[in-house]
């Protein structure tokens, strides 16, 4: 644009209005390359920041022999971060991680409820919220007995509410 | 005696070495004084002239300057704390305890860092309230308010990332809760949390990432935006004094 303004008026511009100059095409090429490189850098940056190997505990934890859990009881396992409940239908496991903001809940035997110390959410032994800000019930986790007769829990798999391990 | 000191001082300012560093030279003319500010890399962010009223305590309560003072204190004490702190799971908590009970002056530096951090957050808010209620954010200073909001966020992130480093129960659960708040961001939340923690739980990767953010990335960002913030004061016509101003 600046060039056109400075061009002497008696000398007609040889450039047609819709013609692309070499400079313009090089600028487009350059900007395009920068855009492609930018997208590539974003992808590589994202990949770099996402760890490919995590040294985190396995989601599957061994809870020991099922006869550890007496009938009609709630047993916290603070290492695995789960509760093992022995109901009339059998054994099931609840995650001990509060669905509000991830705090570790505690079983209160004197009240018969699960309570979160951070923001006061309360759950019954089915994991259903009684009180507080938690948006969802405590998830029921998949439990099964392996070949050695140990009760295992998979903390990454949510089980349907009608699934129990019979003892 | 005072005369003699003044004489030595003036001789020093006339030496070749001094003149090679401070090219403006000695002199008390307005030009000399202006050049002394303008040609100094640290002072050139400030204006060469200012209204006498803008230096009055009532105008700013010196809240911005005090915030800068806490930032400098935090940088100094933080660098010293880094000499004894390893950002690793087995060592972080023990190093923090060593700083309190074993390292000479460690408890002083740690408490200085902690109280300065609280003071900085308080002063940033106080500074912003002062600016807001005096109307000092209004044009032509509206962009410096935006820079100020960025600096508020950087300050809060510095505070948040520093909170994890003692690696005690308070730190662990505070960061667990905080990072779960982040996962409430629509669509991207869970991914953002994963990237920030470098995993699914607050663990070794999270500790290292927070350490790098706290000690390198966020302080650099803060220093950059502080420089822009101060430079903008000059560019926007000096501090707002509350008197009628004319803008050319």
In three-state secondary structure terms, A89 is: coil
Query: Where residue B245 falls among pLDDT bands split at 50, 70, 90?
Result: low
CB neighbour list of residue B196: distance below 8 Å, 6 or more residues apart? B179, B182, B206, B209
pLDDT surpassing 50 at residue B19 = yes
CA atoms of A135 and B180, how far apart (whole Å): 13
Nearest to B181 among A54, A55, A101 (CB): A101
CA atoms of B233 and B248, how far apart (whole Å): 16
Q: Kindly state the average pLDDT of the residues B122-147.
A: 95
- Name which of B21-30, B130-139, B172-181 the model is least confident about: B21-30
Question: What is the nearest CA distance from B207 to chain A, expressed in angstroms?
Answer: 14
Contacts of A51 in chain B (CB under 8 A): 198-199, 205
CB neighbour list of residue A117: distance below 8 Å, 6 or more residues apart? A103, A104, A105, A106
CB neighbour list of residue B246: distance below 8 Å, 6 or more residues apart? none
Contacts of B177 in chain A (CB under 8 A): 101-103, 118
- With an 8 Å Cβ cutoff, are A101 and B200 in contact? no
- Show the CA angle centred on residue B91, arms to residues A101 and B183, nearest 5°: 20
Are B26 and B14 in contact by the 8 Å Cβ rule? The answer is yes
Sign of the CA dihedral with B154 first, then B157, B159, and B161 last: negative
Mean pLDDT, chain A, whole residue set: 89
User: Which secondary structure element, helix H or strand E, spans residue A86, and what is its range?
Assistant: strand A82-87
Closest CA to A96 of A150, A143, A155: A155
Residue-wise pLDDT for B57-82, tens only, equals 999 999 999 999 999 999 999 999 99
- With an 8 Å Cβ cutoff, are B180 and A101 in contact? yes
Asked casually if ipTM beats, i.e. exceeds, 0.95, the reply is no
The whole-number pLDDT of residue A8 equals 54
From the CB of residue B82, how many other CB atoms can be counted at a distance below 10 Å?
13
Please, how many CA atoms are within 13 Å of residue B65, restricted to the half-sphere of its CB? Answer: 10
Query: Where residue B225 falls among pLDDT bands split at 50, 70, 90?
Result: very high
- With an 8 Å Cβ cutoff, are B177 and A46 in contact? no
CA atoms of B57 and B67, how far apart (whole Å): 15
Nearest to A103 among B176, B181, B195 (CB): B176
- With an 8 Å Cβ cutoff, are B199 and A102 in contact? no
For B176, which residue in chain A has the nearest alpha carbon? A102
Residue-wise pLDDT for A108-131, tens only, equals 999 999 999 999 999 999 999 999
The whole-number pLDDT of residue B248 equals 40
Are A150 and A65 in contact by the 8 Å Cβ rule? The answer is yes
For B177, which residue in chain A has the nearest alpha carbon? A101
* Domains and their CATH numbers in chain B: 61-247 (1.20.810.10)
Bridge partner residues of B83 (DSSP) = none
Question: What is the nearest CA distance from A2 to chain B, expressed in angstroms?
Answer: 28
Question: What is the nearest CA distance from B206 to chain A, expressed in angstroms?
Answer: 11
pLDDT surpassing 80 at residue A3 = no
- Show the CA angle centred on residue B39, arms to residues B36 and B44, nearest 5°: 95
Bridge partner residues of B146 (DSSP) = none
Inform me whether the C-beta atom of residue B9 falls under 8 Å from chain A C-beta atoms.
no
Residue-wise pLDDT for B152-168, tens only, equals 999 999 999 999 999 99
Lookup: tokens for B56: 């009055």
Inform me whether the C-beta atom of residue B100 falls under 8 Å from chain A C-beta atoms.
no
pLDDT surpassing 90 at residue B40 = no
């Amino acid at each position: 644009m600046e060039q056109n303004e400075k061009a002497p008026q008696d000398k007609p511009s040889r450039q047609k209005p819709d013609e692309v100059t070499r400079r313009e095409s090089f600028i487009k090429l350059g900007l395009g390359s920068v855009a492609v490189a930018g997208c590539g850098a974003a992808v590589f940056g994202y990949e770099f920041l996402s760890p490919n190997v995590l040294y985190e505990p396995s989601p599957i934890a061994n809870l020991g022999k099922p006869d550890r859990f007496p009938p009609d009881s709630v047993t916290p396992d603070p290492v695995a971060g789960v509760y093992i409940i022995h109901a009339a239908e059998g054994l099931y496991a609840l995650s001990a991680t509060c669905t509000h903001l991830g705090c570790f809940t505690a079983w209160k035997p004197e009240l018969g409820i699960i309570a979160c110390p951070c923001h006061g959410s309360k759950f019954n032994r089915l994991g259903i919220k009684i009180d507080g800000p938690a948006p969802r019930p405590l998830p029921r986790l998949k439990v099964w007995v392996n070949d050695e007769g140990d009760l295992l829990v998979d903390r990454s798999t949510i089980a349907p509410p009608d699934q129990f391990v019979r003892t | 005696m005072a005369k003699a000191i003044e004489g030595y001082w003036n001789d020093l300012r006339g030496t070749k070495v001094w003149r090679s560093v401070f090219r403006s030279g000695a002199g008390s003319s307005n030009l000399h004084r202006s050049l002394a500010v303008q040609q100094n890399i640290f002072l050139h962010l400030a204006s060469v002239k200012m209204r006498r009223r803008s230096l009055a305590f009532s105008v700013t309560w010196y809240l911005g300057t005090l915030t800068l003072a806490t930032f400098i204190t935090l940088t100094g004490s933080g660098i010293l704390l880094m000499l004894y702190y390893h950002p690793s799971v087995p060592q972080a908590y023990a190093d923090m305890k060593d700083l309190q009970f074993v390292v000479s002056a460690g408890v002083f530096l740690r408490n200085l860092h902690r109280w300065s951090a609280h003071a900085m957050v308080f002063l940033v808010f106080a500074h912003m309230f002062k600016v807001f209620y005096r109307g000092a954010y209004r044009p032509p200073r509206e962009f410096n308010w935006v820079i100020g909001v960025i600096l508020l966020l950087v300050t809060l992130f510095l505070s948040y990332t520093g909170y994890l480093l003692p690696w005690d129960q308070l730190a662990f659960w505070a960061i667990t809760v905080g990072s779960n708040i982040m996962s409430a961001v629509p669509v991207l939340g869970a991914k953002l949390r994963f990237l920030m923690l470098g995993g699914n739980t607050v663990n070794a990767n999270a500790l290292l990432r927070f350490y790098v953010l706290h000690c390198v990335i966020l302080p650099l960002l803060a220093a950059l935006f502080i420089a822009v913030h101060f430079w903008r004061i000059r560019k926007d016509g000096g501090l707002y004094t509350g008197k009628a101003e004319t803008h050319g």
